[in-house]
């Protein structure tokens, strides 16, 4: 019997690895939602360089498995529109300031990812062409297909909408398989576990249960939009090593919200 050449053996091995990896991972295109507050680490404001680098390394673990990744980041570590409005600032102006804060976080994450050899594109709903591309659905999808992580900044580009709603909207537009909400806690609880140690964690919830209980881990608009488009949400602890990788692989981590 004729033996395979070394190049043929190498190609076969690469195909085997790719196919094996493909079927090992449960999701192939994800939307990762990160809160701005998470980037503070133990600081009172701003961005913790070590923490954002650790996030980049966690994202790279998933990226190296040929998973298509889009990211939406909040801006609460720099400025929150609702907070500014509550102190007498005009809500529209305050929300636009919050959108600009998300762009700053997007630039920081882009730098951290590229320092870890992950190619990225930053797209914004508000035109800031000197530093980012304007959001175009087809272009964003093409970047994902070409193996680039796409970061979406400035929310929806409209006041009165949170970055949670922006995350769900972008996930629907790019046909993501799931929304992964990375937080400081390991899921959704009956109460805030950081304030009440007796709070009970949910492993699974329906959208109806979330809305009925008034759970605030994401805003009502985001949950309703996900429900209408049958897009599951998984809330998990982003600060635990390998959690993101294991969630994408399909392990039961955090709390899953679906129909």
**Digit-coded pLDDT (tens) for 42-53:** 888 899 999 999
pLDDT of 87 above 80: no
pLDDT of residue 42: 83
The residues near 216 (Cβ < 8 Å, ≥ 6 apart) are none
pLDDT of 21 above 80: no
**99 neighbors 128 (Cβ within 8 angstroms):** no
pLDDT of residue 4: 52
What percent of the chain has a predicted confidence (pLDDT) above 90?
Answer: 75
pLDDT of 20 above 50: no
pLDDT of residue 192: 86
Phi-psi category of 81—alpha, beta or left, where left has phi over 0 and alpha has psi -120 to 50? alpha
Instruction: Tabulate helix, strand, coil % of the chain (nearest 5).
Output: 45, 20, 40
Q: What is the mean pLDDT of the chain?
A: 90
pLDDT of residue 150: 98
Over range 130-152, report the average pLDDT: 97
């Amino acid at each position: 019997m004729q033996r395979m050449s070394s190049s043929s053996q190498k190609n076969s091995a690469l195909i085997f690895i790719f196919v094996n990896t493909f079927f090992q991972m449960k999701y192939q295109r994800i939307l990762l939602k990160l809160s701005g507050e998470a980037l503070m680490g133990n600081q009172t404001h701003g961005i913790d360089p070590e923490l954002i680098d650790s996030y980049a390394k966690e994202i790279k673990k998933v990226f190296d498995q040929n998973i298509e990744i889009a990211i939406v980041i909040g801006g609460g570590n720099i400025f929150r529109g609702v907070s500014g409005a509550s102190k007498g600032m005009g809500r529209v102006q305050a929300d636009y300031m919050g959108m600009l804060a998300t762009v700053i976080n997007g630039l920081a994450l882009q730098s951290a990812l590229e320092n870890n050899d992950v190619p990225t594109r930053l797209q914004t709903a508000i035109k800031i062409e000197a530093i980012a591309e304007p959001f175009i659905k087809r272009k964003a999808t093409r970047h994902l297909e070409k193996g680039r992580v796409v970061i979406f900044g400035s929310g929806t580009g409209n006041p009165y909408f949170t970055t949670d709603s922006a995350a769900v909207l972008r996930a629907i537009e790019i046909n993501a398989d799931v929304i992964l909400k990375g937080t400081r806690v390991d899921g959704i609880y009956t109460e805030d576990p950081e304030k009440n140690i007796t709070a009970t964690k949910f492993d699974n919830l329906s959208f109806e249960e979330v809305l009925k209980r008034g759970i605030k881990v994401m805003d009502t608009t985001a949950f309703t939009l996900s429900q209408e488009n049958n897009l599951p949400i998984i809330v998990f602890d982003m600060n635990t090593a390998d959690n993101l990788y294991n969630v994408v692989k399909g392990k039961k981590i955090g709390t899953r919200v679906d129909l």
